[in-house]
């Protein structure tokens, strides 16, 4: 495939003229190496919208295969999460202490066999993934510490000092940005066999060009689970499995474009 970008070169008369780049572009290149023109990757294969459409269309055909897994995850993950938030009653330290042990359960499905569309998530795969619980526990701890630091810096928490109200908004932005950054990390921990610290670093480096698409993917996850929750919670039996498919498939698209490989040390 030839690049359709424009470059400026001097002709025989020494004048600058515009011409087609015509550099050969690899099918998985995101930018032309010669002129820097963006390829169609972010609007096609790496598009959050296209990813959602593809996964949702496939999921509708095999939805019933995920009911058992959805029910199990609902009771072992979401219900425990809801109970932790209820019994902690807004106590920051107690809430985070409980979340440290509950949230890793929600990451366990990422340790299942690759390609969740072709290899549906099952109860047995979920239970066998508990051996990775310590890895996800550490990953959860790192996130809790980061969010604590953001709370201290932007709100004066613990320090008992007043801060500019705008910093509260800055904290929200940083939290959302962080979540978009660590988006692929749980899968990197398992599939690249690296520790949580290295996974977060690799996720940050590999997602420089896809950050907005990662954010929109997580936005889709938030919306479908909000709908699932609105349906008296029963809809989560469907929305939770769909969420894992969306995240895992976008990770595979990033991996297909070798975004992780080129950033590995």
Please give the average per-residue pLDDT across 47-53, as a whole number.
96
Q: What is the mean pLDDT of residues 124-147?
A: 95
Q: Of the segments 38-42, 82-86, 198-202, which one has the largest average pLDDT value?
A: 198-202
pLDDT for 234? 79
Question: Tens digits of per-residue pLDDT, 163-202?
Answer: 778 888 889 999 999 999 999 999 999 999 999 999 999 9
pLDDT confidence band for 11 (50 / 70 / 90): low
Q: Which residue has the higher pLDDT, 163 or 257?
A: 257
Q: What is the pLDDT of residues 210-235, one digit of tens each?
A: 999 999 999 999 999 999 989 877 79
Mean pLDDT of 26-34: 73
Q: How confident is the model at residue 263 (pLDDT cuts 50, 70, 90)?
A: low
Q: What is the pLDDT of residue 265?
A: 52
pTM of structure = 0.88
Residue with tokens 């990757």: 41
Mean pLDDT lowest among 77-86, 110-119, 136-145, 240-249: 77-86
């Amino acid at each position: 495939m030839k690049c359709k970008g424009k470059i400026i070169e001097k002709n025989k008369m020494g004048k600058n003229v515009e011409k087609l780049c015509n550099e050969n572009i690899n099918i998985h290149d995101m930018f032309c190496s010669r002129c820097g023109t963006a390829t169609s990757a972010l609007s096609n294969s790496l598009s959050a919208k296209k990813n959602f459409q593809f996964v949702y269309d496939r999921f509708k055909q095999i939805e019933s295969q995920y009911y058992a897994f959805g029910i199990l995850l609902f009771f072992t993950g979401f219900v425990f999460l809801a109970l932790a938030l209820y019994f902690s009653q807004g106590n920051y330290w107690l809430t985070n202490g409980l979340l440290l042990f509950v949230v890793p359960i929600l990451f366990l499905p990422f340790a299942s066999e690759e390609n969740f569309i072709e290899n549906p998530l099952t109860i047995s795969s979920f239970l066998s993934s508990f051996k990775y619980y310590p890895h996800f526990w550490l990953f959860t701890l790192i996130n809790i510490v980061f969010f604590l630091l953001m709370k201290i810096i932007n709100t004066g928490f613990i320090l008992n000092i007043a801060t500019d109200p705008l910093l509260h908004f800055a904290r929200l932005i940083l939290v959302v940005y962080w979540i978009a950054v660590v988006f692929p990390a749980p899968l990197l921990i398992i599939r690249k066999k690296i520790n949580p610290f290295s996974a977060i670093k690799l996720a940050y480096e590999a997602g420089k060009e896809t950050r907005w698409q990662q954010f929109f993917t997580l936005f889709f996850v938030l919306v479908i689970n909000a709908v699932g929750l609105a349906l008296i919670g029963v809809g989560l039996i469907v929305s939770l499995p769909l969420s894992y498919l969306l995240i895992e498939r976008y990770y595979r698209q990033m991996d297909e474009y070798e975004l992780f490989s080129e950033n590995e040390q």
